[in-house]
């Protein structure tokens, strides 16, 4: 990846002084997007590929995500981007879940859709059963009375072959999948809302499960220092 220079601008209008990064197509000659006054460059940031920060914690990590009728292309794209950071090996896009052929998915995933293998399937239940026959554990992320808290999952639990299933933003995961899965997990909440946005929930769950898997492999490099 080539280094990219990002320019930060500030509006010269003393009553505005909007400070913002330059976006695609913006140059010093453009006007302030808030008040249309002239702008000046205040900083230039060099963005380098930070491959040196990548660890080797997930050598045995075979974590697959299955999206069951996620309706929002923005959510799917965000899940792709998070999946890249969590070392997800593949994403199954089932039912009406949009694929990276959708420009909104590509815009949000910022290239992650190129790096992560994906497969489209009309029937999430059939796809789940196929993965179960291959030896994967099937976990559903859903707020149900039968759900086990995510944080009850211990580092000792073997998670090397795991499918995490996320459901529709409104109706949730297909009841047939819930009936056939190995475990339903939920994220404890303190607020009055009963659930997180699906992309936020996925990030929380994937990060915690990645931590558990890394710890079970003997890695302590990702543990916080105290």
Q: In which band, very low, low, confident or very high, does the pLDDT at 51 lie, cut at 50, 70 and 90?
A: very low
CA distance 46 to 51: 15
Q: Which two tokens stand for residue 148?
A: 């086990």
pLDDT tens digits, residue range 126-168? 999 999 999 999 999 998 888 999 988 765 565 678 999 999 9
Q: Could you tell me which residues come within 8 angstroms of residue 127 by beta carbon, excluding any fewer than 6 positions away?
A: 66, 92, 94, 121
**pLDDT tens profile 84-131:** 988 899 999 999 999 999 999 999 998 999 999 999 999 999 999 999
- Is pLDDT at 56 greater than 80 in this prediction? no
Determine contact, residues 139/184, Cβ cutoff 8 Å.
yes
Give the highest mean pLDDT range of 98-102, 187-191, 222-226: 98-102
27 or 217, which is more confident? 27
Closest CA to 62 of 166, 206, 160: 160
pLDDT grade for 224, boundaries at 50, 70 and 90: very low
Beta strands 62-68 and 19-21: pairing type? unpaired
> Domain 56-216 falls in which CATH fold?
Alpha/beta knot (3.40.1280)
Percent of the chain exceeding pLDDT 70 equals 81
Neighbours of 28 (CB within 10 A): 11
**Within 13 A of 222's CA, how many CA atoms are on the CB side?**
20
Over pLDDT 90: what percentage of the chain? 60
């Amino acid at each position: 990846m080539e280094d990219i220079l990002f320019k930060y601008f500030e509006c010269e209008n003393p009553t505005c002084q909007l400070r913002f990064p330059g976006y695609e197509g913006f140059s010093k000659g453009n006007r302030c997007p808030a008040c249309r006054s002239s702008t000046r460059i205040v900083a230039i940031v060099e963005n380098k590929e930070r491959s040196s920060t990548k660890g080797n914690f997930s050598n045995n990590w075979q974590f697959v995500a299955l999206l069951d009728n996620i309706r929002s292309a923005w959510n799917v794209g965000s899940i792709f981007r998070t999946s890249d950071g969590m070392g997800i090996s593949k994403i199954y896009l089932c039912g009406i879940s949009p694929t990276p052929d959708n420009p909104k998915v590509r815009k949000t995933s910022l290239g992650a859709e190129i790096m992560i293998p994906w497969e489209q399937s009309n029937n999430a239940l059939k796809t789940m059963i196929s993965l179960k026959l291959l030896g994967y554990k099937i976990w559903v992320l859903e707020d149900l009375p039968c759900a086990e808290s995510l944080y009850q999952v211990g580092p000792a639990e073997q998670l090397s072959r795991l499918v995490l299933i996320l459901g529709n933003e409104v109706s949730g995961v297909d009841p047939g999948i819930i009936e056939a899965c190995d475990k339903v997990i939920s994220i404890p909440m303190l607020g009055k809302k009963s659930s997180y946005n699906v992309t936020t929930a996925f990030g929380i769950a994937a990060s915690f499960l990645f931590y558990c898997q890394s710890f079970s492999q003997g890695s302590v490099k990702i543990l916080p220092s105290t």
